[in-house]
Chains A and B, each alone.
Chain A
Amino acid sequence: MEKRQDIVLGLIFVGIGIFAAWTATNYKGASGTYPMVLGLVLTLLGATVAIKALRKPINQPRTLIDAPAKLVIAMLVATIYVALVIPLGFYTASFLLVLAMPLALGFRRVAYAMTVAVVFMSLVYLVFSVLLEKPLPRELILSVISVGG
């Protein structure tokens, strides 16, 4: 609901503003004054949004999430991917993501997803590792192989 969303939004920003202003009191001289003023202004603006929403006579519905299940899946898979990029290595985690995300979202053409994953990851490798020579998180599988060897 629009009204409730705006009240929550306003209150969140009141909280951020108060926290910033309070934290800034620990800083010396002008380096503290500026963020303190900003914190207070943010508090004021947040309160204005919340009060405006409270005083609004009608509540116009506003959808916050269109497809909650799909959104939660996408957020969860994205979070797991970021968590795995360092331990598994960039290419391994990314390859798994290209396969897992569409499947988790209901895509059932595994061969199609596999082809896209292979083509896309090859392109990423060519561009970032060969052409641009960007250092990316090391592959766990390579470390295992080198230890084994």
Chain B
Amino acid sequence: MEFYTNALSHVLTFGPLTAMIGATLLGVFIGALPGLNPVMAIALLLPLTYSMDPLVALAMVAGIYNGSMYGGAIPAILLRIPGTPASIATTFDGFPMADRGEAAKALKIACWSSAIGGIASAIALMTMGPMLARVTLFFGPAEYFWIAIFGMASVAVMVGSDPVKGMMAAVLGLLIGTMGIDNLSGQARFTFGQTWLLGGLDLIVVLVGLYALPPVLQLAEKCDLKGLSAAQLKLADAPFEEGEIRGLIPTWLRASGIGIGVGILPGAGGNIAAFLSYNAAKNASDDPSSFGKGNPQGVAAAECGNNADNAASMIPALALGIPGNVVAALVLSALTIHGLQPGPQLFHQNPTLVGGFMMEMLITSVLIFALGGAVATRVFAQFQRLPGVLLVPTILILMCVGVYVINGRPVDLWVMLIAGFAGYFLEKVNFPLAPVILGMILGPMAEQSVRRALLISRGDPTDLVTRPISAVLAVVTVLVIIWPLVKMMRRRRRAN
């Protein structure tokens, strides 16, 4: 308890509070604009947080993450265009509700459901995170090595449709992570005589390129020249009727549970949580045929499910250093740029920061009640009148300024551009980008841990698998890698 009261006293100060309010509003705005997503927004934000207090930086990440997950519901309900991939399931019943003149009611249900899902998820993070971190007190270099490999392997094989491409992406990230001076021997690796490469490729530069540029290029391809008309965005007031909230409670409880479960699993994201929650609500309903035709329970399930995934995905990220999704990987990057080593030791070395971030995830979820209401929704919906084609250069400029201020080096702009162009084509051939970033984050931890473990065991590699915890982690890692391959072979045999 002292862990949280101490953290709360740091969070409830001017800097983090202002950052949470501003970022939640910004998150709703980003989510409301189709084409922009939380990953892109956080990737753009990270370079600007270098000089900030880490708690302020993480407050902004928490606000954008929770806010945008709700914001995605605005175009999903009004126009059947999901603002973020996680709000696809919201369109199923949200748009039919809007179609029969109940857009404001659907938005209100989405707002409440997002806030409730986010709060449940933050409570799960606050209870399960420290418990999991306590286990890590028994970890040595061998265990850290397996944790890093397990994290990468699980995300590599679960993200995307082809586990081999996922593993290829993770290994590419690991290789990029080896660039620069080797900390243990002082050997310069893959620098090709370039002094700017001695520190390796900057994680944030590559990240901004990989995650922000492909959506910008897709916006350019779509070439929206008109934006929306004012008539399409008109909303009327819609207060809750008596008993309406009570009727939604079972859906909220079910969706929160599903969202938290999905969030903890590495590789699964908010879209999966929303679909599973939607299906569960439909199966539990007395009238499943009303789903897809404007049933408010469908909106509540989808929105509660996708927000319940948010904080829960931080449980393995903060306690074990294994990011459950790309945003969790970005949070780990945020910690890295503030000189903090992601992984099990974080809870013991920086309790205020970790506890503070958990509180920020909770507070920003509560803020959605106030900031995601009808007035804010009306304001943010108006931005959809802006032609999409005008967003292309504005985001590109924000990317460049963000990347340039990191090191003040023009070469970083070229690295970002190349990473972005490569990311665009790689995504098109179903090559997942998340494992590349994970490889870059966890690679140095994996390499240093394995080399330290071998130094301690005087070069005996069996020590990596003979300690009880490391043996379990090794077996689980091998299973995680082999299982999708076995499934794939079985499917092929059945097809033959």
The yes or no verdict on A and B being binding partners is yes
Q: Which of B89-97, B103-111, B115-123, B215-223 contacts A (4 or more CB under 8 A)?
A: B215-223
Judge whether B397 is part of the interface by a CB distance below 8 angstroms: yes
**A72 CA / B476 CA spacing, docked (Å):** 45
Q: B176 CB to closest chain A CB, in angstroms? A: 10
Judge whether B25 is part of the interface by a CB distance below 8 angstroms: no
Judge whether B404 and A9 touch: CB under 8 Å. no
Judge whether B184 and A75 touch: CB under 8 Å. no
Interface string of B148-186 (1 = CB under 8 A from A): 000000000000001011011001101100100010110
Residues of B within 8 A of A67 (CB): 221-223
Interface string of A65-104 (1 = CB under 8 A from B): 1110011011101110110011000100010011011100
Residues of B within 8 A of A101 (CB): 220, 389, 392-393, 396
Judge whether B397 and A97 touch: CB under 8 Å. yes
Residues of A within 8 A of B396 (CB): 78, 81, 97, 101
Judge whether A20 and B217 touch: CB under 8 Å. no
Judge whether B164 and A31 touch: CB under 8 Å. no
Q: Please tell me the number of chain A residues within 8 Å of chain B, measured between CB atoms.
A: 64
Q: Which of B55-63, B283-291, B373-381, B410-418 contacts A (4 or more CB under 8 A)?
A: B410-418
- Which one of B213, B222, B401, B421 lies within 8 Å of A136 (CB-CB)? B401
Residues of A within 8 A of B390 (CB): 98, 102, 107, 112-113, 116
- Which one of B187, B190, B400, B451 lies within 8 Å of A81 (CB-CB)? B400
Judge whether A11 is part of the interface by a CB distance below 8 angstroms: no
List CB contacts (< 8 Å) of A102-144 with chain B: 102, 105-107, 112-113, 116, 120, 124, 128, 132, 134-137
Judge whether B408 is part of the interface by a CB distance below 8 angstroms: yes
Least CB separation from B426: chain A residue: A9
Least CB separation from A28: chain B residue: B187
- Take A102-B393, A136-B401 as given contacts and tell me if A42 and B429 are in contact as well, using a CB distance cutoff of 8 Å: no
Residues of A within 8 A of B428 (CB): 62-65
- Which one of A38, A45, A64, A105 lies within 8 Å of B178 (CB-CB)? A38
Judge whether A82 and B417 touch: CB under 8 Å. yes
Least CB separation from B425: chain A residue: A64
- Which one of B51, B389, B392, B400 lies within 8 Å of A82 (CB-CB)? B400
Residues of B within 8 A of A45 (CB): 164, 167-168, 171
**A117 CA / B217 CA spacing, docked (Å):** 19
Judge whether A31 and B182 touch: CB under 8 Å. yes
Judge whether A48 and B221 touch: CB under 8 Å. no
Least CB separation from A5: chain B residue: B429
Q: B35 CB to closest chain A CB, in angstroms? A: 13
Least CB separation from A19: chain B residue: B190
Residues of A within 8 A of B397 (CB): 94, 97-98, 120, 124
Judge whether A75 and B410 touch: CB under 8 Å. no
**A82 CA / B158 CA spacing, docked (Å):** 35
- Take A6-B429, A75-B217, A107-B387 as given contacts and tell me if A16 and B394 are in contact as well, using a CB distance cutoff of 8 Å: no
Judge whether B401 and A124 touch: CB under 8 Å. yes
Q: B240 CB to closest chain A CB, in angstroms? A: 37
Judge whether B172 and A30 touch: CB under 8 Å. no
- Take A45-B167, A81-B400 as given contacts and tell me if A102 and B392 are in contact as well, using a CB distance cutoff of 8 Å: yes
Residues of A within 8 A of B249 (CB): none
- Take A74-B392, A105-B389 as given contacts and tell me if A30 and B401 are in contact as well, using a CB distance cutoff of 8 Å: no
- Take A31-B184, A107-B225, A124-B397 as given contacts and tell me if A71 and B389 are in contact as well, using a CB distance cutoff of 8 Å: no
**A41 CA / B164 CA spacing, docked (Å):** 11
Q: Secondary structure of the A side of the interface?
A: helix
Q: A59 CB to closest chain B CB, in angstroms? A: 14
Residues of A within 8 A of B408 (CB): 135
Judge whether B217 and A32 touch: CB under 8 Å. no
**A81 CA / B308 CA spacing, docked (Å):** 40
**A82 CA / B387 CA spacing, docked (Å):** 24
Residues of A within 8 A of B218 (CB): 66
Judge whether A137 and B171 touch: CB under 8 Å. no
Least CB separation from B417: chain A residue: A82
Residues of B within 8 A of A46 (CB): 168
- Which one of B164, B221, B447 lies within 8 Å of A74 (CB-CB)? B221
Judge whether B178 and A134 touch: CB under 8 Å. no
Residues of A within 8 A of B185 (CB): 28-31
**A106 CA / B389 CA spacing, docked (Å):** 9
Least CB separation from B447: chain A residue: A34
Judge whether B405 and A136 touch: CB under 8 Å. yes
Q: Which of A48, A75, A100, A135 has the most CB of B within 10 A?
A: A75
Judge whether B190 and A35 touch: CB under 8 Å. yes
Residues of A within 8 A of B213 (CB): 78
Judge whether B65 is part of the interface by a CB distance below 8 angstroms: no
Residues of B within 8 A of A42 (CB): 168, 171-172, 175
List CB contacts (< 8 Å) of B209-236 with chain A: 213, 216-218, 220-223, 225
**A106 CA / B256 CA spacing, docked (Å):** 45
Q: B282 CB to closest chain A CB, in angstroms? A: 30
Judge whether B254 is part of the interface by a CB distance below 8 angstroms: no
**A124 CA / B44 CA spacing, docked (Å):** 14
- Which one of A16, A82, A90, A124 lies within 8 Å of B414 (CB-CB)? A82
- Take A35-B189, A49-B168, A128-B401 as given contacts and tell me if A86 and B410 are in contact as well, using a CB distance cutoff of 8 Å: yes
Judge whether B48 is part of the interface by a CB distance below 8 angstroms: yes
20 residue pairs bridging A and B, Cβ less than 8 Å apart: A9-B429, A16-B175, A30-B451, A32-B189, A34-B178, A62-B430, A74-B217, A90-B401, A94-B400, A97-B393, A97-B396, A102-B387, A105-B392, A106-B389, A112-B387, A112-B390, A113-B390, A116-B390, A124-B401, A135-B408
Q: Please name the 10 residue pairs, one residue from A and one from B, whose CB atoms are nearest each other, closest first.
A: A74-B220, A101-B393, A31-B187, A67-B221, A31-B182, A45-B168, A31-B185, A134-B405, A98-B393, A35-B178
Task: Give 14 A-B pairs besides A16-B175, A41-B171, A105-B220 with Cβ atoms closer than 8 angstroms.
Answer: A27-B182, A32-B187, A34-B447, A38-B174, A42-B175, A45-B171, A64-B428, A78-B396, A81-B400, A85-B400, A85-B404, A102-B389, A102-B393, A105-B389
